[in-house]
Amino acid sequence: MANEERKDFNKMLHDNKDMPKIQIITDQKSIEKYGGKRMYFAPPLDYDQVMKQVPYGQVVTVGKIREYFAEQAGADFTEPITAGIFVSIAAWSSH
């Protein structure tokens, strides 16, 4: 991310942006790629909470976090772009 020293990552972390929510997608290519129509959007703070549960020295992937959220929400998958952004925000807010 650019200009990290000027950004308030803690504020971003606590901005839920009307999430959590499930959106039904209709793009056939995306449905085939992700395996379903029900796309879940998890708020940034949820990513932070899950990441804090990972024991020191252990690794968890964004993909595994996304799978966990989709399963918990009864969705087919978790939106990948915001997931990557929110993981970065959670990591930066901990500094």
Strand, helix or coil for residue 75: coil
Q: What are the structure tokens assigned to 40, written together?
A: 């879940």
Q: What range defines the domain where residue 11 resides? A: 4-93
**Structural domain count of the chain:** 1
Contact 81, 50 (CB under 8 A): no
Contact 73, 40 (CB under 8 A): yes
User: Which of 2-6, 7-11, 28-32, 90-94 shows the lowest mean pLDDT across its residues?
Assistant: 2-6
pLDDT at position 1:
53
pLDDT in tens, 20-62: 999 999 999 999 999 999 999 999 999 989 988 999 999 899 9
